Amino acid sequence: MYILASHSPRRKELMKQIVSEFFCVDSDIDESTSLNLLPLEACKDISKRKALAVRNKYPKDVIISADTIVTLDDLIIGKPKNEKDALRILKLLNNKTHQVITAYTIIKSDKILTNYVITDVTFNDNNDRLLQSYIESGSPLDKAGAYGIQDNDKYPIISGYKGSLENVIGFPTKEIKADLKKIESMN
């Protein structure tokens, strides 16, 4: 059986593009212990620890975990604490290009594969009224970087991206699917 080590509704929807039958288990790890690492290393560490925590409970299943972070000049930008913090984050990213990193880990038996995808995302030069309206929608409050690219049609804060759209949503399906095939073919 396949297990997604997450309860994220966005990851759950994207996981359906990889395998049709799976269930979700929350890893319940302390992510703060990794935040003193460089962004890519922190992301990979959190992803791996999520997968290992779930594997301890389900050793016979295939575990897939992921962690997504937003970085600007090697600064990790997490989820906003509140609306005021969301505005601070969005203004920090305003009219700049930042990186979205998703690290994912796949565990099958004693095989562990951790990989990552990086996408560049560029914000428009947004006015405060648009940013405040977006924050009032509630959508940014549970997302790293205080935004979801899937909201861009209604709140056009992003001018473009270079790389995987699914990565920005938090689950790079094409890459995970390829690595899942790779790990399943190992003896």
What is the separation of C-alpha 10 from the centre of its chain, rounded to a whole number of angstroms?
A: 9
Strands of the chain (E only): list them: 2-4, 22-24, 62-72, 75-77, 97-108, 111-123, 158-162
Give bridge partners of residue 106 from the DSSP assignment.
64, 113
Of 71, 62, 81, the residue nearest 180 (C-alpha): 62
Q: What is the pLDDT of residues 112-139, one digit of tens each?
A: 999 999 999 999 999 999 999 999 999 9
Q: Which tens digit of pLDDT belongs to each residue from 14-53? A: 999 999 999 999 998 988 888 789 999 999 999 999 999 9
- Is the pLDDT reported for residue 160 higher than 90? yes
Question: Per-residue confidence at 158, pLDDT binned at 50, 70, 90?
Answer: very high
Q: Count of alpha carbons within 13 Å of 30, Cβ hemisphere only?
A: 3
The pTM for the full model equals 0.92
Q: Among the listed ranges 32-41, 83-92, 147-156, 171-180, which one has the minimum average pLDDT value?
A: 32-41
Separation CA 79–CA 90 (nearest Å): 11
- 67 included as an active-site residue: yes
Are 171 and 11 in contact, with CB atoms under 8 Å apart? yes
Q: How many CB atoms lie within 10 A of CB 187?
A: 3
> What residue type is 50 in one-letter code?
K
Catalytic residue among 67, 85, 128, 151: 67
Q: Is the pLDDT of residue 7 over 90?
A: no
Spatial distance between the Cα atoms of 161 and 118, rounded to a whole number of angstroms: 11
Question: Is the pLDDT reported for residue 187 higher than 70?
Answer: no
| Model confidence pLDDT, tens digit, residues 56-83 | 999 999 999 999 999 999 899 989 999 9
Cα torsion through 62, 12, 134, 28, rounded to 10: -50
